[in-house]
């Protein structure tokens, strides 16, 4: 429940961190690109000026041909020669007549023929490279000519190319790295929080013990403290409630004992009265106690009264047992080694009369086995389970108390179970029947709806839970308490061959 929320929270945080980091980074990239462009622009202006300075040199280098009709000669000035040599293939020149006819150099190095003697600058594409071309018309030794110099090392051009390489790529890499770093660090920074959430989430609703503050990171400690405070308050309230129920049940038992003793005695008298010779005298004696306004009750009424009283007494007893069996209230350290076979035998003895009264076959299938637990609680557990089985199974049914050990995931575990062949409980009702005061629809009228929840509480006090399933041949109900593996004692060597 808390988990998807937390996941959303961390991913939300991740996105926000990423956005907060990427925005300034992008601004930085833009600023740096702009600055870079400015410096490239400056360099371009310097380039233009250099070309401008070299143009007169080029013009001077043109020497008129000695024989008319032939091409003029080129005697490159040292500065121009150095420029052409140094920049290699990215430089070129051309000399042409004012009509545009090429005299010397490369044909492509040209712009629109200038009308004045002022230098002009053009950009010319050649061989995939954009060249800066300076063109000037001027007087030379060979008459009026148009000279042009081309330079391919245009910083503005290179700037565009290098922009990708020098600026965008590293920055994109940086942003990607930042994203990864954020993802990783948010995950790691939030791990204690996620762990805390998992711990709280996986807690049993009955577990109200405080969370260890020392193991949580300092930032969430106030939260842990607040949670612990809340746990404390809830625990205090739950404890108070449990004490109240226990006290109330305990206080109820004294008047109930008196009421029950009276009603039980009346019931005995009323039954024996019919066949007793001194019936009249005794009947009279029994009724003298409720004079002067004598009311005569028939045997049936008295027995109904007795049944109601017994049920009330049982309820008081079970409420008390429930509060005593409360898993939070039971001291796990005080567990002893319990002989489960003996326990089953005692439960059988205790319920033999009740089973016989309903014509039921109450039996035992017990292997010698011990477990670590609370003797009196386990007695209470078996008593409630057997009582339930006898109450809810039809007359003439079969109830079996079992103990032994079974292999669960490769480990031997001791178990206690009670199986009946009654109507059973539909599997989708299993969780409900463990709730306090829940009674299955159509259940016979006798139960209090507490037996199974007491048994479940006791199972919890033993670090286990009650398992409900169908009995043999998919009939009836089988309730099992599986002990934790470490509590299963090794098989006892047989003492004398006679058991027990």
Partner 1 sequence: MRLLLVEDDIMVASGIKLGLADAGYAVDWVGSGERAQEVLTKESFDVGIIDIGLPGIDGLELTRLLRRPEMANPAMPVLILTARDALQDRVQGLDLGADDYMVKPFELPELLARLRALLRRSQAANTAVLSFGSLELDTANRRVSIAGADGLAATVIEIGPREWTVLEYLMIHAPKPASKDKLLQALTGWDKEITPNAVEVYVSRLRSKLEPHGIALRSIRGFGYRLEQTP
**Residue ranges binding partner 1 (CB under 8 A):** 250, 253-269, 272, 276, 282, 285-286, 289, 309-310, 313, 316-317, 320, 324, 345, 348-349, 352-353, 356, 361-366, 375-376, 400, 498-500
Return the number of the residue (57 or 404) whose C-beta is nearest partner 1.
404
CB of 358 to partner 1, least distance (A): 15
How many other C-beta atoms lie within 10 A of the C-beta of residue 350? 14
Distance CA 469, CA 400 (A): 14
**Nearest-CA neighbor of 132 among 113, 114, 116, 152?**
152
Residues 145 and 98: beta-carbon distance below 8 Å: yes
Return the number of the residue (278 or 435) whose C-beta is nearest partner 1.
278
CB of 255 to partner 1, least distance (A): 7
How many other C-beta atoms lie within 10 A of the C-beta of residue 285? 11
CB of 453 to partner 1, least distance (A): 19
Distance CA 453, CA 433 (A): 8
CB of 355 to partner 1, least distance (A): 10
Q: What sign does the dihedral 329-479-201-242 (CA atoms) show?
A: negative
CB of 7 to partner 1, least distance (A): 49
Q: What is the dihedral of CA 314, 318, 321, 323, to 10 degrees?
A: -140
Return the number of the residue (47 or 317) whose C-beta is nearest partner 1.
317
Burial letters 242-264, b for 16+ CB under 10 A, else e: beeebeebeebbeebeeebebbe
CB of 423 to partner 1, least distance (A): 21
Q: Strand, coil or helix: what is 395?
A: coil
CB of 344 to partner 1, least distance (A): 9
Q: What is the DSSP string of 434-475?
A: TSTT---TT--TT--S-HHHHHHHHHHHTT--EEEEE-GGG-
Return the number of the residue (224 or 316) whose C-beta is nearest partner 1.
316
Strand partners, 482: 415
Return the number of the residue (233 or 332) whose C-beta is nearest partner 1.
332
Cα distances (angstroms) measured from residue 131 to each of 58, 89, 145, 393: 18, 11, 21, 104
Return the number of the residue (355 or 479) whose C-beta is nearest partner 1.
355
Burial letters 29-65, b for 16+ CB under 10 A, else e: beeebeeeeeebeebbeebbeebeebbbbbbbbbeee
CB of 303 to partner 1, least distance (A): 12
CB of 472 to partner 1, least distance (A): 14
CB of 346 to partner 1, least distance (A): 10
Return the number of the residue (220 or 263) whose C-beta is nearest partner 1.
263
**Nearest-CA neighbor of 429 among 420, 444, 416, 442?**
442
Residues 145 and 94: beta-carbon distance below 8 Å: no
Return the number of the residue (96 or 324) whose C-beta is nearest partner 1.
324
Q: What is the DSSP string of 362-389?
A: EEEEE---EEEE-HHHHHHHHHHHHHHH
Return the number of the residue (180 or 364) whose C-beta is nearest partner 1.
364
């Amino acid at each position: 429940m808390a988990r998807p929320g937390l996941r959303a929270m961390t991913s939300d945080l991740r996105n926000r961190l990423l956005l907060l980091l990427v925005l300034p980074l992008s601004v930085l990239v833009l600023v740096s690109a702009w600055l870079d462009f400015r410096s490239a622009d400056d360099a371009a202006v310097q380039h233009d000026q250099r070309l401008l300075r070299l143009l007169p040199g080029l013009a001077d280098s043109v020497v008129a041909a000695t024989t008319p009709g032939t091409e003029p000669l080129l005697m490159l000035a040292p500065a121009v020669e150095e420029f052409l040599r140094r920049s290699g293939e990215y430089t070129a020149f051309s000399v042409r007549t004012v009509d545009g006819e090429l005299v010397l150099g490369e044909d492509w190095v040209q712009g629109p023929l200038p009308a004045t003697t002022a230098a002009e600058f053009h950009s010319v594409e050649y061989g995939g490279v954009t060249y800066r071309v300076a063109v000037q018309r001027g007087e030379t030794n060979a008459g009026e000519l148009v000279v042009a110099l081309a330079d391919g090392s245009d910083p503005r051009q290179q700037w565009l190319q290098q922009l990708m390489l020098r600026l965008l790529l590293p920055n994109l890499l940086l942003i990607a790295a930042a994203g990864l770093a954020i993802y990783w660090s948010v995950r790691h920074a939030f791990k204690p929080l996620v762990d805390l959430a998992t711990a709280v989430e996986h807690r049993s609703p009955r577990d109200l013990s405080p969370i260890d503050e020392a193991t949580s990171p300092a930032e969430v400690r106030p939260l842990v403290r607040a949670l612990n405070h809340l746990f404390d308050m809830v625990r205090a309230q739950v404890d108070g409630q449990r004490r109240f129920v226990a006290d109330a049940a305990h206080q109820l038992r004294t008047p109930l004992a008196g009421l029950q003793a009276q009603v039980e005695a009346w019931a005995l008298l009323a039954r024996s009265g019919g066949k007793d010779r001194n019936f009249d005298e005794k009947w009279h004696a029994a009724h003298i106690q409720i004079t002067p306004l004598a009311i005569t009750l028939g045997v049936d009424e008295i027995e109904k009264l007795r049944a109601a009283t017994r049920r009330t007494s049982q309820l008081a007893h079970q409420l008390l047992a429930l509060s005593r069996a409360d898993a939070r209230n039971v001291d796990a350290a005080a567990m002893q080694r319990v002989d489960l076979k003996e326990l089953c035998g005692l439960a059988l003895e205790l319920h033999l009369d009740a089973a016989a009264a309903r014509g039921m076959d109450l039996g035992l299938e017990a292997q010698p086995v011990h477990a670590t637990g609370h003797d009196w609680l386990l007695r209470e557990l078996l008593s409630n389970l057997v009582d339930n089985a006898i109450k809810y199974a039809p007359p003439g049914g079969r109830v079996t108390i079992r103990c032994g050990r079974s292999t669960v995931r490769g480990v031997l575990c001791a178990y206690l179970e009670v199986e009946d062949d009654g109507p059973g409980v539909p599997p989708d009702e299993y969780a409900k029947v463990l709730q306090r005061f829940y009674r299955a629809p159509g259940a016979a009228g006798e139960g209090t709806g507490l037996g199974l929840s007491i048994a479940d509480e006791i199972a919890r006090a033993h670090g286990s839970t009650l398992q409900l399933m169908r009995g043999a041949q998919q009939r009836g109900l089988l309730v099992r308490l599986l002990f934790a593996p470490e509590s299963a004692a090794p098989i006892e060597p047989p003492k004398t061959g006679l058991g027990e």
